[in-house]
A and B are shown apart, each in its own frame.
Chain A
Amino acid sequence: MRKIINNSGSSSILVVLTFMMLIIFSLLVVMSSHSDYKLAEKNAYSTKEYYDLTAKANKFWYDIDSILLNNAEKSILEKLEDLKIYDSDSDLEASENIILISKSFLNSEGRELLVEFKYDNSIKKLDLITIKELPKEFEYEEIEFEDMEVYTQ
């Protein structure tokens, strides 16, 4: 029986496999780096959006502070009226000497920033008491909660 032995086959296969492995790994590395970069871009964009909302809140703060400073001698009810005229969307609460003002700022992406101010009429001073981003509302659609027995004594 005649056999033809060609030793060049195995080395060719090794070279082809090595290159295939290198190509697959390099593609995976590029994909991984790309997704990392997308994540970093998302973080940067989210920060920009936060500071956009903060800018709106600061402008609102400046406006209501100007109104309250310019009408410092008016009564608390008159100040409340002025604030309502300036912005009917904000929530206003007044007690004897205090006005609580709160307003939410929404952006196109649905992010919401809540700011709350406290105006003390006795010292004629407006303070920022809260500035926080509200989490988006969501509902569990597919999860059903069973009535669980609650241990009581």
Chain B
Amino acid sequence: MNLPKKNINIKGFTLVELIISVGTLALLGVLILIFFMSSSDLSLRTEELDYSVYHTNNIIESIKLNRWEENPLKNFKIIDISNDNTILSSLYDKNWNPTNEENEALFRTNIILKEESENSEKSLYNLRVQVVRLKKYFRSKENNPEIHSVNTSLYLDTILEDMLK
């Protein structure tokens, strides 16, 4: 029986073709990897920014209500009192739990309070709350990038010294 004759090309790719294709695929692979890493970095930034906004609002509202004995204010420690500025600071780990260990800490929150003027019973305070990341982001040049900060003024019943007891 005579079957139709088939010509099978068994030569495959040449070395140049292989080098070009592997090179192109490697470049595309790197591009894809950069896209995914940038995306993961952006997601991380988004999550941290959202939490920082929540955290900052929580701190300001707690100061308004004078809740220095409760979270989140109870974790703050005075680090400096100078030129009418009182600076308090608190460290947080990657899950936003308060920590005292500098090595574990990923975030630092600063409260800068300044008494602007006072009446007989109340005082006007200038308040700045700032959330800082202690480690660099992916492809970021800043060493301690500020995630979020809020400046405001508060007119409070309490005197600063009493608040910080």
Contact = CB atoms under 8 A, between A and B. Distances in A.
Contacts of A32: 39
Interface residues of A, number: 40
Interface residues of B, number: 42
Interface of B: 4-9, 12-13, 21, 25, 28-29, 31-32, 35-36, 38-40, 42-43, 45-46, 49-50, 52-53, 56-57, 60, 117, 119-120, 122, 124, 148, 150-155
B148 A44 contact: yes
Interface in A43-62: 43-44, 47-48, 51-52, 54-56, 58-59, 61-62
Interface of A: 1-6, 8, 12, 15, 19, 22-23, 26-27, 29-30, 32-34, 36-37, 39-41, 43-44, 47-48, 51-52, 54-56, 58-59, 61-62, 65-66, 69
B49 A41 contact: yes
B36 A58 contact: no
Contact of B150 (A4, A27, A34, A48): A48
Contact of A44 (B5, B28, B53): B53
B39 A47 contact: no
Contact of A40 (B40, B50, B56): B50
Nearest to B38: A30
B46 A40 contact: yes
Contact of A65 (B39, B43, B122): B122
